[in-house]
A and B are shown apart, each in its own frame.
Chain A
Amino acid sequence: MTEALLTIENLNVSYRGNGRSAHILDGVDIKIGRGQSVGLVGESGSGKSTVAFTLLGLLADNAEVSAGYAAFDGRTRNFAARETASLRGTDIAMVFQDPMTALNPMFTIGTQLVDIQRRRFPRESRKALWARAEAVLADVGVQDAAARMHRYPHEFSGGMRQRVVIAMALLVEPKLLIADEPTTALDATIEAQVVEVLHRLRQRTSASMLVVSHSMGLIAELCDSVVVMYGGTVVESGKVADVLHRPRHPYTQALLACEIDPYAAFDPSQDLATIPGNVPDPARRPQGCIFADRCPARHDRCRERPPQRHARDGQNYSCWLEVA
């Protein structure tokens, strides 16, 4: 295992309001090695975006954050506003889901690509920053970058805007790049182009990557390891190939069974797989296993909190069941 860039142990986030409190993240552990690409996968309400927002200090004011231990780039950290603000846009950069709302419609792309670098390189001249921006823009596959720098966001297509946003994140030379659903808003052929750009970047930069997505396909394409979240907890983590081929947690197994392979032979009268039931209400979290209500392998023990299990190949999962 390479040296860790980011280590978080026992991360808890809850919101308080109207006399009630909702627990959004419950004991999340995440580790990202230097140069490593980690996928955070889960369905709506799993807390995957909350993890990303916690790292960036972008949670709402009524959020209460605590962690057993947190370190970034060799230093221990807390998630106080001042600490996360100093990392944001310098050591940690984010590619947001919707490239239209991430860009300011009132300024040219060039201006925005220059301004984003000001905090990182306060002494550089505008001319130098402009030249850097142009080079990176060309690098992420925007043709005719010099002329495009003078254009406004609305003059770009969705795929091009996403490249601009990726260029923006790269310009600050972050140690950690967080991509939150980077291709969800894009068409399939454009998604393939953006995936290719991200692939190329991975080979060229030493930055670590955290890809947050509901799409197991995207994680499989971009990541070395994956963290599977459900209801605000990590249920399983490990190398992508291991988790995909030998999921240990019943939730991961059920989730992968829901994936459709259009090339596989199938019986048309057979129902598609689903996971019956609903995601637990964060204001009323169950005491024991978070997935117990929907788990096909539930038994009496699941009323208690399940133990962390470590398989020999580095795969971790949280379940009462022993590996068969």
Chain B
Amino acid sequence: MNALILKDAVIRYDRLTAVDGVSLELRRGETLGLVGESGCGKSSVARAIVGLQPLAAGTLTIEGETLQDAPARRRTDLQRRIQLLFQDPAASLSPRMTVRSLLAEPLKIQKSHSPEAWTRIVALAESIGLGQQLLSRYPHQLSGGQARRVALVRALAAEPSIIVADEPTAGLDISIQGELLNLLRTLRGRLGLSYLLISHNLNVVGRVTDRVAVMYLGQIVESGPTADLFRNSAHPYTRALLSANLTLDAGRRRERIVLSGELPSPSNPPSGCRFHKRCPLAQPRCTREIPVLQGRPGERSFACHFPLRSEPAPAPQAIAG
């Protein structure tokens, strides 16, 4: 069962097409990673999913119901099933509100403020380490980790089933980023959540996601189960992106593929394969023909005329837990 299906989404800003035919499936209870460089359209996808950005084309299906077919009132209910966890808690929490009013605000907006709802919020806050003594504090009196927890409780106030987390660990010190990721995992099980995790931190994506989709210039170029995609990427862009990740392992550093140039402008994408101008393996065919995303949906798929053959990498077996 899928929590969310995005099909052939197109997002335009005036004449610029930022997202061009993106399809995603988020299964219930899983964490799906979305990676790519600045300007690839991943945040536009996130904004469209939470309803902050209209789709120019395509459909969004939430728990089996297609939003575009639903009556207006039902749409609001459906959209409420998805909440966005904002990137920067310092910027998303009003400095003039106490934690108490910050936590109560979503209930007021949803007109669901009641003593029971408030008790539930306080209990939820307490269960993730935000004690009652913090309720009268202001955001500047919170640590970075606490501010993120407040943002998380606000997102969870509407009792969503899907959380879109846009760079949830950006700006967090490495010694406390694990705390937030552990918390997200615990809550996923406890509250039956599914996550769409957008991040440029490939270490985090590699560790906490079940599946991952790679975007380049408004399109998905490759997707698949995380462990497999990290070890046997088929698309040259995926491989270059993964190899660019700074590592403590000197052996892996030697295999680095440094791409020339930068992300081209989405207002005038290259002909054929959008990646061909930076691709170290481009052939004449790549400048003419647009590669189609192929492979089993939800499993491995990639859009490349000359995919890299997977090396006989060690089996990506997780230790049985």
Chain-A contact segment, one of B90-98, B106-114, B120-128, B169-177: B169-177
A115 within 8 A of B: no
> Contact between B321 and A259 (Cβ–Cβ < 8 Å)?
no
Cβ contact of A262, chosen from B203, B263, B319, cutoff 8 A: B203
Contact with A along B282-321 (1 / 0, CB 8 A): 0000000000000000000000000000000000111111
> Contact between B258 and A262 (Cβ–Cβ < 8 Å)?
no
- Given known pairs A188-B37, A215-B246, A265-B318, the reply for A274 and B175 (CB within 8 Å) is yes
Q: For the complex, give the distance between the alpha carbons of A218 and B174 in Å.
A: 14
A-side contacts of B181, CB under 8 Å: 272
> Contact between B178 and A43 (Cβ–Cβ < 8 Å)?
no
Contact with B along A148-183 (1 / 0, CB 8 A): 000000000111100000000000000000000000
> Contact between B248 and A216 (Cβ–Cβ < 8 Å)?
yes
- A265 — nearest CB in chain B belongs to which residue? B319
Q: For the complex, give the distance between the alpha carbons of A255 and B177 in Å.
A: 11
Nearest-CB distance from A40 to chain B (Å)? 15
B-side contacts of A256, CB under 8 Å: 248
B-side contacts of A254, CB under 8 Å: 175
> Contact between B249 and A261 (Cβ–Cβ < 8 Å)?
yes
Q: For the complex, give the distance between the alpha carbons of A217 and B256 in Å.
A: 14
Q: For the complex, give the distance between the alpha carbons of A44 and B174 in Å.
A: 10
Nearest-CB distance from B218 to chain A (Å)? 16
Cβ contact of B258, chosen from A187, A196, A265, cutoff 8 A: A196
Count residues of A near B (Cβ-Cβ below 8 Å): 45
> Contact between A188 and B244 (Cβ–Cβ < 8 Å)?
yes
Cβ contact of A189, chosen from B179, B259, B321, cutoff 8 A: B259
- Given known pairs A157-B262, A159-B262, A221-B253, the reply for A188 and B179 (CB within 8 Å) is no
A275 within 8 A of B: yes
A111 within 8 A of B: no
B135 within 8 A of A: no
- B248 — nearest CB in chain A belongs to which residue? A220
Cβ contact of B206, chosen from A191, A263, A269, A270, cutoff 8 A: A263
Cβ contact of B200, chosen from A188, A196, A272, A273, cutoff 8 A: A188
B-side contacts of A263, CB under 8 Å: 206, 230-231, 249, 252
Contact with A along B153-181 (1 / 0, CB 8 A): 00000000000000000000111111101
> Contact between B262 and A190 (Cβ–Cβ < 8 Å)?
yes
Q: Which residues of A contact B (CB under 8 A)?
A: 43-44, 157-160, 187-193, 195-196, 214-218, 220-221, 244, 254-256, 258-263, 265-276, 278
List 18 additional contacts besides A192-B259, A260-B204; criterion CB under 8 Å.
Answer: A44-B144, A158-B38, A188-B37, A192-B244, A192-B256, A196-B258, A214-B173, A217-B246, A217-B248, A255-B174, A255-B175, A261-B247, A261-B248, A263-B231, A263-B249, A266-B319, A272-B181, A273-B178
